[in-house]
Structure formats: structure tokens, C-alpha cells
């Protein structure tokens, strides 16, 4: 008897396609950080914009591990472009948490999909977390690479309490992104049996 819980080649292809699509959109939207005043708004913008491809991805997810792999891919990508172990850890934990939520919910209820995606979005905190955890050397690098005005503006907009607010905004943004994605892809959800 074939084990239907194992990830197949088709599952891994879906992981690759949707992970790449989501990361490209995330990265392009992240370019808005060139304007430091936009940075706090990205806690909501990222999950909403990425919600559309992720909701399409959720119509393909029927097995545990797909979101974890997406989190690992995202974490490695952000590790390699300079976010370090904090970026890697955030994305991996977000992937694992979202996979666990989806498995507990049985993969078929839309409210579970929404909760899973909101949990996945919490992992995004791995990227801006360097602002609070990477230390003075990180800020010196920002001063050097982006200039004093940029760094000072960013420091004033991202005080330590913003990290806690950021988690809440990412979660709410994840819910909004899932609802927007679901509305735009309703036909795909009906075909996949997720209503």
C-alpha cells in the first residue's frame, strides 16, 4: 500500500514554484525599504500582497511538510542575502508552525487555512528582527551603506516596542492577505474542496 503522507515529486514541484513566486513578490515589495518611512507599513503590506500566491499554494497543500520546506527555502534565501541566522530561524519557525496548524485542522477548512497563513506570516519577522537583535555592528553597517539620515530615520521608526507590534501586524496582515487571496481565487478553492 502506498503511503499517501509522503511528499511526491508533484508536491515538491508545487513547493518550488509557489515558494519562488512568493519570495520574488516578497523581495520586490521589500525593495520599498529604500524609503525608511515605509518600513513599519511593510508588516501589513508583505502578508497582504503575498497572500494571493500563498492562497493558490494552499489549494495544493494536502501533506505535512510543504510549508516547512517553503519556510526553509525562504530562510536560506534571506540568510544568503545577509539577514543571518535570525532571518533563517524566523522563516523556518513560521513554516513549521503553519504546517502544524494546517495538519491539526485537517487541510480542508478555510478558517484553518487563514490561521495557518497568519502563522506563516509571523516568520517574516526574521527579516526585520536584525534591527533589534543583531547589535551595534548591524546599525553601523546601515549607517555606512545607506547613510546617516536613512539610519537615523529608520531607528526612530523602529524602536524596540515595534517588534511586538510587528508580530501583531504580521498576524492581522496574514488574515487580511488570506481573505484577499481567497476572494481572488475562490474558484480554485471550490475546485480543491476548501470552502
Longest Cα–Cα distance of the chain, Å, equals 64
pLDDT at position 2 is 45
Specify whether the CB–CB gap between 41 and 168 falls below 8 A: no
**99-124: pLDDT as tens digits:** 999 999 998 888 999 999 999 999 99
pLDDT at position 189 is 64
What letter does residue 63 receive in the DSSP assignment?
S
pTM of the model: 0.90
**11-58: pLDDT as tens digits:** 999 999 999 999 999 999 999 988 999 999 999 999 999 999 999 999
Specify whether the CB–CB gap between 123 and 71 falls below 8 A: yes
Alpha-helix residue ranges (DSSP H) falling in the chain: 9-30, 42-58, 66-78, 84-105, 110-122, 130-133, 136-146, 148-157, 161-184, 186-192
> Is the pLDDT reported for residue 179 higher than 80?
yes
**62-97: pLDDT as tens digits:** 999 999 999 999 999 999 988 889 999 999 999 999
pLDDT at position 194 is 56
CA distance 44 to 40: 8
CB neighbours (10 Å) of residue 60? 17
pLDDT at position 188 is 67
CA distance 5 to 39: 40
> Is the pLDDT reported for residue 192 higher than 80?
no
Amino acid at each position: 500500500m502506498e503511503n499517501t503522507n509522503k511528499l511526491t515529486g508533484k508536491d515538491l514541484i508545487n513547493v518550488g514554484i509557489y515558494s519562488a513566486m512568493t519570495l520574488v513578490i516578497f523581495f520586490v515589495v521589500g525593495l520599498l525599504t529604500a524609503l525608511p518611512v515605509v518600513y513599519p507599513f511593510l508588516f501589513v503590506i508583505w502578508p497582504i500582497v503575498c497572500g494571493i500566491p500563498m492562497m493558490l499554494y494552499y489549494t495544493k497543500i494536502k501533506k505535512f511538510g510543504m510549508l516547512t520546506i517553503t519556510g526553509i527555502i525562504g530562510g536560506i534565501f534571506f540568510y544568503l542575502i545577509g539577514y543571518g541566522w535570525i532571518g533563517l530561524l524566523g522563516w523556518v519557525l513560521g513554516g513549521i508552525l503553519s504546517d502544524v496548524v494546517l495538519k491539526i485542522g485537517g487541510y480542508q477548512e478555510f478558517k484553518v487555512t487563514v490561521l495557518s497563513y497568519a502563522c506563516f506570516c509571523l516568520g517574516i519577522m526574521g527579516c526585520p528582527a536584525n534591527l533589534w537583535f543583531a547589535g551595534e555592528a548591524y546599525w553601523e553597517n546601515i549607517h555606512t551603506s545607506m547613510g546617516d539620515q536613512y539610519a537615523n530615520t529608520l531607528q526612530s521608526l523602529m524602536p524596540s516596542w515595534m517588534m511586538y507590534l510587528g508580530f501583531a501586524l504580521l498576524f492581522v496582515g496574514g488574515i487580511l492577505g488570506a481573505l484577499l487571496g481567497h476572494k481572488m481565487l475562490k474558484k480554485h478553492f471550490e475546485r480543491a474542496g476548501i470552502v
